[in-house]
Amino acid sequence: MRYDEFYRQSIEQPERFWGEQARLIHWDTPPQQILDQSNPPFRRWFVGGTTNLCYNAVDRHLAERGEQLALVAISSETNTTQEVSYHELYREVNRFAAVLQSLGVGQGDRVVIYMPNMAEAVYAMLACARIGAIHSVVFGGFAAHNLALRIDDAEPKLLICADAGMRGGKVIAYKPLVDAALAESSCPPPHVLIVDRQLDPQLTRVPGRDLDYARLRAQHMDAEVPVTWLESNEPSYLLYTSGTTGKPKGIQRDVGGYAVAMALSIRAIFDIAPGQVMFSTSDVGWAVGHSYNVYGPLIGGATALLYEGLPTHPDPGIWWQLCEKYRVRTMFSSPTAIRVLKKQDASWLKKYDLSQLKWLFLAGEPLDEPTAHWITDGLGVPVIDNYWQTETGWPAITLMPGLELKPVKWGSPGLPAPGYRMKVINEVTGAEAATGEKGVLVFVPPLPPGCLSTVWRDDARYVHSYFSHFSELLYSSLDWAIRDADGYTNILGRTDDVINVAGHRLGTREIEESVASHPAVAEAAVVGVHDELKGQVPVVFATLKQGITESNASVARGMQQCVVDQLGGVARPARVYVVNALPKTRSGKLLRRSLQALVQQTDPGDLSTLDDPAALEDIRRALSRGPEQGA
């Protein structure tokens, strides 16, 4: 079936469409009702059906592909590789599930997982799913205070952690962060289960509370833990949003709808069939990590590559070396990671045999055209931009090469995915924006399977956060967008990333695109800062490609001219700083608000997700010495 017909059916006949897609997974009890939307904006998919994520990801594949690789966990930090077949995955998950049950964890209990990209993190997630426990994976290395907030909201029965992670050859001890978080928490779990990687020689244990996973695992080597069948709309996991102030939001995912969304998307979007290999470079603590490091490929009967390390260590060819070795078909990464590689010699892209690599998907932030051209030309494979959020759980806007590859349009993630009834709305009038007119991207309920079902224990916050922005009941993405005559959408950045220059509203993303079009620029971030005359003015921070001989001042002038040429004089950056690195989270998102605060000499806020603290110091040094261009 072609895309247009596939999408049309999902919108016009959602119950028939999703009833057919539900056949992609195993149900212990078939759904009695495909969709219940009697209480909007809430909706329930596959009502009355019982299923299990772990069974769909592991058990059902054993007969046909028990000896096939299910998971390859690679660490360029510890120089280790674990190749795990579906049969071996089944055994390890059962052992982990038995350990959880021995500690009193059962259906509906929450389990916080605080680990890096390692095989045991996947075992822990699947073990929770097997017994009906609700896992909440927190990004490894999160600051103690932020971990404590998530613990207090989830109220877990157990916390599972690694002794440490590594990044760039540096050991990051997790256990001291766990200890500090539990000391701060108002409802700490009774036990901490430690997976000891022997990375932290200073590892300490609290007697009676802290337990060693290896020792408990040895007691359950032959365990067979029955699957707990869950009604489709029961919660499967919590994933907390980060980067906002106040109490974190626990995005709650269901069981059946999520399983169906994974089964559909892994084949129709990512073009992965059983037995093929997918390599997602995300961390398991993020939404992409849940969906396409773990659940999506495994539900699809594929092989999932899990990677711990930097894209440049031990050299900038490490990812492509892995693609060659494991015959990767589809790779999923972020524009930020590609911009890191863009600073390196492009010859690394040609060193390995990538004849099996068919697609490179990029998401997490808008993909700028220069970076898209660079990686497309370098790899010789199509680059598929796609747009989604932690809340959606899978791509909302994308091209679907597994179904039909529509033309790629640079700067656009493409067309709406099945079930996403999308509009662009004028923020003032609430009317649908005209073609080419900027507005807020919204989705008309009911949200498709796989999206959040609510905010954990806070239905009112769910409604207020996502459905209260317009008089009509619409899910607001809080992202600016423009749609063209062909229905393609361009994402322009967050609605709160707007600069008001002398009455002109300018999106930071628009200016960043213009700056990045300068041939010397590797990456750019734009923030708005207070100005007595104009209200706000744009300030640019940019990194340059390697081998640039032109002076920083000359390049900075060129950046300003690019903006003037493309957006007009009103958008001309007031100041341009050339820096070595931009402050980003480990998921690749630019910390624009922190940059803005540093420029304005105010509190930069929570920096617990900062990937490289040296980047922040580099920004401070640049501000101290003054801009390359501007007052």
Distance separating alpha carbons of residues 513 and 497, to the nearest angstrom:
14
Res 587: pLDDT = 67
Banded model confidence at residue 139, pLDDT cuts 50, 70, 90: confident
Across the beta sheet with 359-362, what order do the strands follow? 80-85, 69-75, 303-308, 277-280, 330-333, 359-362, 383-387, 397-398, 415-416
Torsions phi, psi for 606 (to 5 deg): -70, 120
Res 247: pLDDT = 78
**Least confident interval from 3-7, 23-27, 317-321, 368-372:** 368-372
Res 606: pLDDT = 66
- pLDDT at residue 242 tops 70: no
Start-to-end CA distance of the chain, whole Å, equals 58
Angle CA 413–312–161, to nearest 5? 85
Angle CA 417–477–304, to nearest 5? 50
| pLDDT digit string, tens, across residues 321-345 | 999 999 999 999 988 889 889 888 8
Which helix (H) or strand (E) segment is 428 a member of? Answer: none
- Please compute the mean of the pLDDT values over residues 147-175 and round it to a whole number: 95
Res 246: pLDDT = 58
**Structural domains of the chain ordered from first start:** 3-480 (3.40.50.12780), 497-630 (3.30.300.30)
Res 256: pLDDT = 98
Distance separating alpha carbons of residues 556 and 515, to the nearest angstrom:
9
Q: Which residue has the higher pLDDT, 599 or 509?
A: 599
Distance separating alpha carbons of residues 552 and 363, to the nearest angstrom:
30
pTM across the whole model: 0.85
| pLDDT digit string, tens, across residues 428-456 | 888 999 999 999 999 999 999 999 999 99
Q: What is the 3-state secondary structure (H, E, C) of 89-122?
A: HHHHHHHHHHHHHHCCCCCCCEEEEECCCCHHHH
Distance separating alpha carbons of residues 483 and 437, to the nearest angstrom:
7
Res 461: pLDDT = 94
- pLDDT at residue 502 tops 80: no
- pLDDT at residue 245 tops 60: no
Banded model confidence at residue 505, pLDDT cuts 50, 70, 90: low
Distances (CA, A) of 405 to 69, 271, 376, 399: 28, 10, 16, 6
- Please compute the mean of the pLDDT values over residues 146-154 and round it to a whole number: 93
- Please compute the mean of the pLDDT values over residues 14-37 and round it to a whole number: 98
Distance separating alpha carbons of residues 64 and 172, to the nearest angstrom:
40
| pLDDT digit string, tens, across residues 250-304 | 999 999 999 999 999 999 999 999 999 999 999 999 999 999 999 999 999 999 9
Cross-strand pairs, 442: 423, 476
- pLDDT at residue 597 tops 80: yes
| pLDDT digit string, tens, across residues 340-393 | 898 888 899 999 999 999 999 999 877 888 889 999 999 999 999 999 999 999
Which helix (H) or strand (E) segment is 592 a member of? Answer: helix 592-599
| Radius of gyration from C-alpha coordinates of the chain | 24
Torsions phi, psi for 278 (to 5 deg): -120, 135
Q: What percent of the chain has pLDDT over 70?
A: 96
Provide the total of helices (H) and of strands (E) in the chain, helices listed first: 20, 33
Residue in the block written with tokens 């998950």: 93
- pLDDT at residue 427 tops 90: no
Distance separating alpha carbons of residues 402 and 399, to the nearest angstrom:
9
Distances (CA, A) of 105 to 157, 179, 393: 6, 21, 26
Amino acid code (one letter) for 321: Q
- pLDDT at residue 244 tops 50: no
- pLDDT at residue 609 tops 70: no
Res 243: pLDDT = 40
Tokens read off for 137: 């994976």
Which runs of consecutive H residues, i.e. helices, occur in 430-526? 459-467, 508-516
